Amino acid sequence: MPDQTVLVAIDIGTTKVCVLIGEVGGRAGSVDVIGIGQAPSDGLRKGVVVDIDRTVQSVAAAVDAAERLSGLKVRSAFVGISGSHIGSQNSKGMVAVSSRQHEIQRDDTLRAIENARAVSIPNTREILHVIPRGYVVDNNAGVRDPIGMSAVRLEVETHIVTASTTSVQNLSKCVQRAGIEIDELVLAPLATAEALLSDEDRELGVVLCDIGGDTTDVAVFQDGSISHCATIPMGARSVTSDLGLVLRVTPETAESLKLKQGTALPLKVDPDEVIQITSIGEDQPRPITRRHVAQIIEARTAELFDHVAREIEAAGATNRLQAGLALTGGGSLLTGISQAARDQLGMSARVLAPDGLGGLTDSISTPPYAASSGLLIWGAKNWTVEGEREGGGRSLDNVGGRIAKIFRGLMP
């Protein structure tokens, strides 16, 4: 393998498309960002493509900006996917160990994972990932890496992520029409976790909450791996919309109020503090209290965290998440949101920015870039030297093909 490999990540959100070009160096898993591109996105709603032409234009514009900064031509990329069409379930697969010496080989683990993959799903859906959560070697549970162990029977517990086939096709079509081949579609929360969560977080139990424009991705990690994921159909723009409707102001004014004057903690605001706003159709500004703005925001954030609590319960993780709540995404920049989460969910909460990348990271070391940063790290970690990924999805057949495909992704 060459000393350096170049990977590309494309995160297509409801407010922006972000493209990162990263160079994988000699240190294991180290990635230096050498290209950054961003463009407004208005072709998606709730994480689903609703306007192909606009989405293609956004992707092309972001790719062009990254190409100009890096001096490379993008041909292929890892692409994040999320949205309310995403579903997940846990499944088990079991096989007899095939070798005469009853020593577990890699082929045995792959066969067990393939058996776990054989679940019944509607023909309108497809499998994105089959993620091993742990193995049972004969009757000994809790095994992380069974290869080389002696056994007669091997069982694997997996987490299977599925998506709407049409949603996958439409997103893929947008990327391909922009002239980009897809190396792999990656569930956005899985990628985000690579940039934010430590191994200790996953072992202790943590819920990742990525608050985007129209949606909020939730992923629950227990015992070292993901156990549940879901997408909540509300995000930062829901707060902006509420402010616009209640105060009768333009979306631009509502967004400015949210970011500059807003907080999710109305009791922390002086009840006598007054700000001036100009409503739609009015010529003169009028006074409102800043606490009133905070109360509007609090109502929506409370609803959001109520949905998060339901997902935690659905995962069977209530009172089991010692590492608490990890908040990220553009919506996590709202003042007071971590304290509001602590108060409502009764667990620790923190806002996290992506970590683990080098190079041009000054402008992307903030929560809105967690997913795109994670996609680069995912690519560096999960495309193994064997050219196979136990995480399922789309993989290449061999290391030669893998390297060839990655280098086709960028041409000088």
pLDDT at 394: 33
- What CATH number does the domain containing 107 carry? 3.30.1490.110
**Chain segment 21-30, per-residue pLDDT in tens:** 999 875 556 8
Kindly indicate the confidence band of residue 363, based on its pLDDT and cuts at 50, 70 and 90.
Answer: confident
140, part of any domain: yes
Q: What percent of the chain has pLDDT over 90?
A: 83
Spatial distance between the Cα atoms of 70 and 404, rounded to a whole number of angstroms? 20
Print burial letters for 197-220: b (CB count within 10 Å at least 16), e (below 16): beeebbebbbbbbbbbbbbbbbbb
User: Residue 164 pLDDT > 60, yes or no?
Assistant: yes
337, part of any domain: no
User: Residue 1 pLDDT > 60, yes or no?
Assistant: no
Cβ(156)–Cβ(130) below 8 Å: no
Spatial distance between the Cα atoms of 10 and 219, rounded to a whole number of angstroms? 20
**Chain segment 165-179, per-residue pLDDT in tens:** 999 999 999 999 999
Cβ(2)–Cβ(404) below 8 Å: no
Q: Which amino acid is at 92?
A: K
Greater pLDDT, 409 or 51: 51
Kindly indicate the confidence band of residue 404, based on its pLDDT and cuts at 50, 70 and 90.
Answer: very low
Mean pLDDT, the chain, rounded, equals 90
Kindly indicate the confidence band of residue 341, based on its pLDDT and cuts at 50, 70 and 90.
Answer: very high
121, part of any domain: yes
Q: Which amino acid is at 284?
A: Q
91, part of any domain: yes
Q: What's the CA dihedral at 329, 333, 335, 336 to 10 degrees?
A: 30
> Residue holding tokens 């080989």?
105
Among candidate residues 382, 411, 403, 404, the one with its CA nearest the CA of residue 187 = 382
Domain count, the chain: 1
Print burial letters for 94-124: b (CB count within 10 Å at least 16), e (below 16): ebebeeeeeebbeebbebbbebbeebeeeee
Distance of CA 393 to the CA centre of its chain: 16
101, part of any domain: yes
Global pTM value: 0.88
> Residue holding tokens 């909540």?
232
Where helices occur in 71-186 by DSSP H, the ranges are 106-117, 165-177
Maximal CA-CA distance, the chain:
86
Taking residues 384-399, what's their average pLDDT? 35
pLDDT at 128: 94
Q: What percent of the chain has pLDDT over 70?
A: 91
401, part of any domain: no
- For the ranges 38-47, 104-113, 191-200, 397-406, which has the lowest average pLDDT? 397-406
CA-to-CA separations, 304 to 221, 289, 300, 308, in angstroms, rounded: 19, 24, 6, 6
132, part of any domain: yes
User: Residue 199 pLDDT > 60, yes or no?
Assistant: yes
Taking residues 161-166, what's their average pLDDT? 96
Residue 106 belongs to domain spanning: 87-163
Q: Which helix (H) or strand (E) holds 311?
A: helix 290-314
Two tokens, residue 368 = 């809105």
**Chain segment 51-87, per-residue pLDDT in tens:** 999 999 999 999 999 999 999 999 999 999 999 899 9
383, part of any domain: no
